[in-house]
Structure 1
Amino acid sequence: MSDGASGGPVRLHHVPGSRSFRVLWLLEELGILAEIQRYAIGDGSLRDPAYLTLAPAGRVPALEIDGQAIFESGAIVEFLAETRDEAGLARMPGDPERARYLQCIHFAETQASLIENLNLSHVFLRPPAKPSAPVLKITTARLRGTLQALDALLGEREHLLGEFSAADVMLGFNLWAAPRFVPMDGFPRLLAYRARLEARPAFRAAQARDGDAAFYDRDFYPIPEDGA
């Protein structure tokens, strides 16, 4: 492993199990050794003024690389894949798959925003706050719809673009959180796809460096009928 194109240190600001895992995984795919600075949701560390100079919204990931700091996982994934394009994980301008590649990269956050809303309602809100059952049903149905769209997008391909790419890092990552809210019995192709991603050596290396995700306390969160 190397430190990156500039030869300087690379530092990933990371919450275990969060979107920043995408960046950790891609760094492993690219053979870039990064120092990991870990944070926890809810302990105030993400609101530290020093961190806010790197990521002004107080969220992860932020990546220090090539003498600059970048935030937003989609931006970081695109930047890494395109500035290290010798790895073949990007689809550069002029490539016939460029539009599909960008579509997958950005569809990842459409899906992740629904997962985030369900995380908030099921995991982070505690009594006396009570989530609304109708809102949970609507959001869960929308998440299921994005899984149906992803299933159709994948089709019979091994990966989203046929060969593995940064799009799989960005969008495939969601398949570790979505099943906590939507039963996956009807999505055998997505489960097989997730298994292929999980078997990648770089994924396993990233998983070993990830840390313990502290926010989930169960494998599945059903919709409460009364919203309690």
Structure 2
Amino acid sequence: MEETFWSPVRLSIEVAFFSGILVFVLGLFLGKLMANKKFKGKSIIETAFLLPLVLPPTVVGFLLIIFFGKNSPVGQWIEWLFHKPVIFTWWAAVIASTVVAFPLMYQSAKLGFESIDEDIENAARVDGATEFTLLRKISLPLALKAIVSGAILSFARALGEFGATLMFAGNIPGKTQTIPTAIYVAIDSGNMSLAWLWVLSIIGISFLMLISVNLMKA
């Protein structure tokens, strides 16, 4: 019973942690790149970035299967490189969580960078600061609250991902079974006590994540 309970919890945290790293790096880079930029086609690119927020998870899962499946160039390349497909693996769960959590990190980082007074950054450039120094000593510290909030929300979103993960990574105990998929199986099999334990655990973790964001804004 104990191992049955903890296995999906550990896996969920591991998947959310690694997808959180990917989301943080991508969101930070693209958020900085797109902040205060105006160019033709920007709205289309940003719409594509934010699309996973509004698409049904099953649609996201379907698109991931098409993009990474055995018949796609990307899927064939991955299978050639690692001698096995990515679908129904631990990495598939990470990819699915990354896709659905990315919009939250991107939007938070972009808004954080856009809130910085451009005169401050321009003054630093005039004083001879390189773009890396500007990012490290001015942009990141001034946008830190928004960045950390985005990272926490992204982690919480990755932790609770269900639909895309179920379709793309499956529900393999000890391998791809996360808390949301484990809850689904427990309810389907009538094991309500185990389902309640997982429900309470993910509520507790998510509550701590969200209260951390609210305390930062206070």
TM-score surpassing 0.5?
A: no
Structure 2 length-normalised TM: 0.32
Could you say which structure has the higher helix fraction?
2
Structure with higher RCO (Cα < 8 A, 6+ apart) = 2
Structure 1 length-normalised TM: 0.31
Could you say which structure has the higher strand fraction?
1
